[in-house]
Amino acid sequence: MKKNILTLLDLTKNDFENLFQRASELKKRYQKGILDQPLVGKSLALIFEKPSTRTRVSFETAMIQLGGSPIFISAKDTQIVRNEPVRDTARVLSRYIDAVAIRTFSQDLLRGFAEFSDIPVINALTDLYHPCQVLSDLLTIIECKGGYHNQKIAWVGDGNNVAHSWINAAAVVGLDLTLACPKGYEPNREIMEKALSLNSGKIKVTNDPLEAVNGADIVYTDVWASMGQEREQTIRKDVFGPFQINTDLIREASDDAIVMHCLPAHRGEEISEDVLEGPQSVVWDQAENKMHMHKAILEVLITGFNKEK
């Protein structure tokens, strides 16, 4: 039976652990020069409506290293832009390929595609969620901290799609997560209420970045204006100014805190240059781990979560 990753709520805690274990195994074997190619003869379609550097390249490279073939399709080149129903595209592509990763604005479009698809559908980013990003981020935390339990995670900035996926992850695996956002820029209320209803993890929202970062083991930020919000850039700079990750704010975190950013970073805005390039920053390891996590995701979705390794 096929499995999708449209949000992290599609996964169980056991699914998370299986992905972390497999991504770690694949990374270690890759570093030793061992070639794992379980997806020979398989293909992955990448349908992207939004631009991408890391997500696109890491998915393409992951599929190639696993022995499969990635097929990049700009959304503007599909018949969807000529009003072909998404369900028709989904049913046809299901007969050609083995999995699809979609990067788009609308979560509803993603759901509609998945409903009529016979193959696994992966959310490679929507306006509401970025699940694969958070899976790779958690892999980085496991590497740096030995695990994610008993770690205080502070999100500082916009209550955006990455923040929503952190909230979902906290609800599934039980994270200690505090999100500091300016008033009016908090996470989606329905997403918060759903996560809290699962009664797992400690999830809190505040308007005070100092409160969130105090004693934190992981400090995470993202751009203040996401794709599609460029017209709000000037306004957001003023509103988000006190939420910059800089040396003064990092002093409030634990001495061995790590700093994370999903990139691209706007130096001097959401994060200062010295913190981004400083010794506590793990953003480059974080970016690398997208490829290793995507390899695990592709393998388990295409070959099956329950397959014995």
Q: What residue spans define the domains of the chain?
A: 8-129+289-303, 133-286
How many C-beta atoms lie closer than 10 Å to residue 100's C-beta?
26
pLDDT for the residue numbered 255: 97
**Residue 47 phi, psi dihedral angles, 5° rounding:** -100, 105
Q: What is the CA radius of gyration of the chain?
A: 19
The stretch 24-28 carries a mean pLDDT of 98
The stretch 10-16 carries a mean pLDDT of 98
The stretch 177-200 carries a mean pLDDT of 96
212, 179, 211: which is closest to 195 by C-alpha? 179
% pLDDT > 90, the chain: 89
8-129+289-303 fold: Rossmann fold (3.40.50)
Identical fold between 8-129+289-303 and 133-286: yes
Q: Give the CATH class of 133-286.
A: alpha beta
The stretch 143-160 carries a mean pLDDT of 97
The chain-wide mean pLDDT, for the chain, equals 95
- What's the pLDDT band for 232 if we cut at 50, 70, 90? confident
pLDDT for the residue numbered 84: 87
The stretch 254-283 carries a mean pLDDT of 98
The stretch 220-241 carries a mean pLDDT of 86
Q: Is the pLDDT of residue 99 over 90?
A: yes
pLDDT for the residue numbered 305: 65
DSSP 281: B
The C-alpha atoms of residue 307 and residue 31 are separated, in whole angstroms, by 24
% pLDDT > 70, the chain: 97
How many C-beta atoms lie closer than 10 Å to residue 135's C-beta?
25
Q: Where are the beta strands (DSSP E) in the chain?
A: 43-48, 69-74, 99-103, 121-123, 152-156, 176-180, 202-206, 218-221, 258-261
**Among the listed ranges 149-163, 206-220, 232-246, which one has the minimum average pLDDT value?**
232-246
pLDDT for the residue numbered 199: 83
pTM: 0.95
pLDDT for the residue numbered 80: 72
pLDDT for the residue numbered 309: 39
**Among the listed ranges 51-65, 108-122, 226-240, 249-263, which one has the minimum average pLDDT value?**
226-240
pLDDT for the residue numbered 308: 42
pLDDT for the residue numbered 138: 98
Q: Is the pLDDT of residue 53 over 90?
A: yes
Q: Is the pLDDT of residue 306 over 70?
A: no
The C-alpha atoms of residue 269 and residue 237 are separated, in whole angstroms, by 7
The C-alpha atoms of residue 290 and residue 162 are separated, in whole angstroms, by 14
